Amino acid sequence: MAIEVRKVILEGVSDASGLAALVDEGVFAADEVIAVVGKTEGNGGVNDFTRILADQAFRKVLMEKGTRPVEDVGKIPMVWSGGVDGVLCPHATVFARVDAPPSDEPRLTVGIAMSDAILPEDIGRVAMVEKVAEGVRRAMKDAGIDDPADVHYVQTKTPLLTMETIVQARARGNTVITEETLRSMDISNGTSGLGIAVALGEIEMPTNEQICHDLSLYSAVASCSSGVELDQAQTVVVGNARGVGGRYQIGHSVMDDALDIDAVYEAIRNAGLDIPERAKAEDLDGRVVNMFCKCEADPTSRVRGRRQVMLNDSDVHHHRQIKGTVGGVVSAAVGDPAVFVSVGALHQGPSGGGPMIAIVDHG
């Protein structure tokens, strides 16, 4: 089985017409869709319900146009990241398994898994690292990947803390890592990043004291998101394998800071596309399906030696400022504002930077 991957634009909060059109045109069947990764237009915070609206719209299409039972459609990983600040455009990348002749070239393969339930008291602690790591290993097996070096992108969606789940933990006699629900988003993302790094052998199992504190620990391929709509880690592992067929390849690089436009082109080259040393958007010839990256405001409040003030801004949260900044850099590099840029990059790439992933269509 090969992977077909397409990007569709969301023309409204609950718009799934792009997915419906792909099914109607025969690009893939509804029952062949295995995962969706997308950006929605909400605030990206704890109360960003645009993620739920998009999720419902896409699952509705799959139920109406497919034959899978409702419960099976409900298990399809759909990772929605809220917030399209700046020029970013709401969109979704859809992955489907289709029949295709095998290829001797490395081609895109995808594996999916759901972790064991992540309790509110697990978030920010080793228990969550272990559960995420086990989910990643299961997703690698599903993708047919044995060598972690063949993994170029791991997208997770994990729970964050709400006042309701905090109360539930207390009722069980347990504590939670924080009672600030927005802060729990970064903590959940960071803990997931460490789980990915452990599963891929990038680091050893961290201690509770190192989680969200030791910034030297990170995964170079992790992209972690969190929300209120689930209590497990949804995991999508994307890599390359020979013999799977199809025409797509994935690659990655690491963005050292918010202005690292070279990392975009390095990821594209790593995905097998031959481009000039000093590349520009026109050199890509429409071959880039999508870019996926994580970013964060540099905790030193400096970018290339220049002082930054976004971490001091009490009016506009730094999440929104850095997302808009990096979104502009990546959009300019590929000539398309429909790129996946997500914040909260703790333990996902180096401090102040983040992983950069490219999927390329080799025709």
Question: Are 285 and 297 in contact, with CB atoms under 8 Å apart?
Answer: no
In the prediction, which pLDDT does 331 show?
98
CA dihedral sign of residues 160, 166, 167, 169: positive
**Complete DSSP assignment for 28-90:** S-GGGEEEEEEEESS-SSTT-THHHHHHHHHHHHHHHHS-S-HHHHTTS-EEEEE---TT---
74 Cβ contact partners less than 8 Å away, ≥ 6 residues apart: 59
137 Cβ contact partners less than 8 Å away, ≥ 6 residues apart: 199
Which of 108, 75, 86, 122 is CA-nearest to residue 2? 108
Which band of pLDDT confidence, cut at 50, 70 and 90, is reported for residue 148? very high
Per-residue pLDDT tens over the stretch 73-114: 999 989 899 999 999 999 999 999 999 999 899 999 999 999
- Active-site hit among 81, 188, 225, 226: 225
Question: Are 72 and 27 in contact, with CB atoms under 8 Å apart?
Answer: no
Which band of pLDDT confidence, cut at 50, 70 and 90, is reported for residue 344? confident
Specify the amino acid at residue 15.
D
- Active-site hit among 131, 157, 294, 323: 157
Residue 241, SS3? strand
Mean of the per-residue pLDDT values of the chain: 96
Strands 288-295 and 302-303: unpaired
> What is the average pLDDT across 316-328?
96
Which of 326, 257, 245, 321 is CA-nearest to residue 291? 326
Which band of pLDDT confidence, cut at 50, 70 and 90, is reported for residue 45? confident
Per-residue pLDDT tens over the stretch 219-231: 999 999 888 878 9
**Catalytic residue check, 157:** yes
Q: How far apart are CA 33 and CA 267, in angstroms?
A: 25
**Catalytic residue check, 225:** yes
Per-residue pLDDT tens over the stretch 1-37: 899 999 999 999 999 999 999 999 999 999 999 999 9
